[in-house]
Amino acid sequence: MKTEVAIIGGGPSGLLLSQILNRAGVATVVLERSSREHVLSRIRAGVLEAGTVTMLREAGIGDRMDREGHPHEGCFLTDDDLMVRINFKDLTGASVMVYGQTEVTRDLYTAQDALGATIVHGVEDVVIQDAYSDAPYVEYTLDGTRMRLDCMYVAGCDGFHGISRKTIPAHIRREFERVYPFGWLGVLSRTRPAHEELIYANSANGFALASMRNQTLSRYYVQVPLTDKVADWSDARFWNKLRSCLPSDVADSMETGPSIEKSIAPLRSFVSEPLRWGRLFLVGDAAHIVPPTGAKGLNLAVSDVHYLHQALIDVLKKGDATGIDAYSERALLRIWKAMRFSWQMTTMLHQFDGEDSFAAQMRKATLRHLSQSETARRDLAENYIGLPF
Ligand code: RFL
Ligand code: PHB
């Protein structure tokens, strides 16, 4: 097989890149390890930045998002019973969209099918060969047969555990990492959301997030020790913990019910530089991970696609390599700013094991400052709705 851009990974970044390139007349092949059903069963992000929303519309997949998504003009940060509203709309003029990553991915599959794009599921043992040459190719196994895909460029969109990043020789890569001493236990339930807007809660009992997908589907998280297993958390234990972290009037009026999904995700900040090696480009979680506290992971994947798609179109259609030469540096500038924001939100809102009493006072003081300073709220809002591309 032969194509212009081989895309490893059919998550949101790989599918979006494929979608935009196909619409511009660039040939792609997406190689995805899992089945489509598996990709669509992963419950992940829920908040889309304003720039992400625009990108999805421009890629021709905005219709259902605009019909079924929920624009949010603000969110709350709380400290026990103190509720601080961050009014995105007043502070920045923009808002975010609550629309699940699962739905974005579903819309991308539908659009890719309509375009007749090639997405190969169930590939195994993917190896990127000769990335640092003019003739890269990708080898993989499909139904027991070893296959070869020749291409002009390779986009590594295969997430944190993928093979693309590791294709770049270790002596070229610089990795930066912070692992946090807790995870998020997430629960999805068919219940009315606790509040109309998201609540990021700091409390004496730890961090919790009250989020949602729609009027009848809620998504909640509480911070848990990394040693905890999902089996340790019955629904009753989860709801008790969640209530103990939220402001009392929200907790008292909150609807609870059986969980329909429950999972634990570790929290990590990670960046691997550079994002380019020869004809291989890293995109999204393949190159960087943020703790979910700032709602930035999916949005960063989309901004990487923003920088890379135009660069690939320019080089393939016009022979202009300026964009691909600048990709790594341009994308990393924005990535590090989102890293900083996600780290700051995580530090501001979570209890760290073995912390001293000073740390808790710092969190309280930060939230009090936010409640009193419009400047502080504007800074948070500007980062949350998404820095310009
Ligand atoms: P993905 O989604 O991990 O997709 C990578 C795809 O590559 C496939 N793959 C391979 N394919 C072929 N060969 C291989 N060797 C392969 N190895 C892997 C995988 O099967 C998969 O299909 O990466 P991508 O596309 O870069 O997208 C990144 C986002 O998924 C991620 O950043 C977000 O989900 C992070 N995130 C959030 N981001 C936000 O912007 N807003 C949020 O509100 C938000 N909340 C979250 C989150 C992530 C969470 N978890 C579980 C980590 C909440 C949670 C709990
Ligand atoms: C979610 O709804 O899953 C969600 C929302 C905001 C975050 C993280 C996750 O910061």
Peptide bond into 274 cis (omega under 30): yes
Q: Look at residue 343 in the predicted model and tell me its pLDDT.
A: 98
Of the candidates 325, 278, 269, 326, the residue with the CA atom closest to the CA atom of residue 300: 269
Nearest CA to ligand 1 atom 46: 45
pLDDT tens, 125-171?
Answer: 999 999 999 999 999 999 999 999 999 999 999 999 999 999 999 99
Q: Residue 31 is which amino acid?
A: L
Distance (angstroms) between ligand 2 centre and the Cα of 317 equals 38
**Catalytic annotation, pick one of 292, 306, 307, 327:** 292
Nearest CA to ligand 2 atom 10: 295
Q: How confident is the model at residue 239 (pLDDT cuts 50, 70, 90)?
A: very high
Domain with CATH 3.50.50.60 in the chain: 5-72+96-177+268-346
CA distances in angstroms from 320 to 281, 310, 329, listed in the order given: 17, 11, 17
Answer yes or no: are the C-beta atoms of 234 and 256 closer than 8 Å: no
Distance (angstroms) between ligand 2 centre and the Cα of 353 equals 23
**Ligand 1 close to Cβ of residue 56 (< 6 A):** no
Residue 99 annotated to the active site: no
Distance (angstroms) between ligand 2 centre and the Cα of 9 equals 23
Nearest CA to ligand 2 atom 7: 295
Write out the two tokens for 194. Answer: 């606790």
For the CA of 43, the closest atom of ligand 2 is: 3
Work out the percent of the chain whose per-residue pLDDT is above 90.
Answer: 98
Q: How confident is the model at residue 43 (pLDDT cuts 50, 70, 90)?
A: confident
Residue 72 annotated to the active site: yes
**Catalytic annotation, pick one of 109, 153, 180, 200:** 200
Q: Note the maximum CA span of the chain.
A: 64
pLDDT tens, 255-274?
Answer: 999 999 999 999 999 999 99
Distance (angstroms) between ligand 2 centre and the Cα of 107 equals 19
Write out the two tokens for 226. Answer: 């990394």
pTM of the prediction? 0.97
Residues 6+ away with beta carbon under 8 Å from 166:
none
Residue 296 annotated to the active site: yes
Residue 347 to residue 345: CA distance in whole angstroms:
6
Helix (H) or strand (E) segment spanning residue 302: helix 297-318
Q: Look at residue 39 in the predicted model and tell me its pLDDT.
A: 92
Residue 29 to residue 6: CA distance in whole angstroms:
5
Helix (H) or strand (E) segment spanning residue 347: helix 322-349
**Ligand 1 close to Cβ of residue 186 (< 6 A):** yes
**Ligand 1 close to Cβ of residue 15 (< 6 A):** no
**Ligand 1 close to Cβ of residue 101 (< 6 A):** yes
Residue 78 to residue 89: CA distance in whole angstroms:
19
**Ligand 1 close to Cβ of residue 43 (< 6 A):** no
Distance (angstroms) between ligand 1 centre and the Cα of 11 equals 6
Of the candidates 240, 183, 191, 255, the residue with the CA atom closest to the CA atom of residue 219: 191
Residue 42 to residue 263: CA distance in whole angstroms:
10
Domain with CATH 3.30.9.10 in the chain: 180-267+352-385
CATH number for region 180-267+352-385:
3.30.9.10
Residue 328 to residue 318: CA distance in whole angstroms:
20
pLDDT tens, 10-25?
Answer: 999 999 999 999 999 9
Q: How confident is the model at residue 41 (pLDDT cuts 50, 70, 90)?
A: confident
**Catalytic annotation, pick one of 137, 140, 307, 384:** 384
Distance (angstroms) between ligand 2 centre and the Cα of 351 equals 18
Residue 194 to residue 192: CA distance in whole angstroms:
6
Write out the two tokens for 308. Answer: 């890379």
Which residues pair with residue 273 across a beta bridge? 174
Answer yes or no: are the C-beta atoms of 132 and 146 closer than 8 Å: no
Residue 152 to residue 316: CA distance in whole angstroms:
9
Share the mean pLDDT of the chain.
97
| 386 torsion bin: left (phi>0), alpha (psi -120 to 50), beta (else) | left
Residue 89 annotated to the active site: no
Over residues 319-331, the mean pLDDT reads: 98
Residue 388 annotated to the active site: no
State whether residue 295 is helix, strand or coil. Answer: coil
Of the candidates 156, 367, 115, 178, the residue with the CA atom closest to the CA atom of residue 277: 156
Alpha-carbon torsion angle 350, 264, 105, 317, nearest 10: 70
Fold observed for domain 5-72+96-177+268-346:
FAD/NAD(P)-binding domain (3.50.50)
pLDDT of 45 > 90? The answer is no
Residues 6+ away with beta carbon under 8 Å from 165:
156, 173, 272, 282, 286, 287
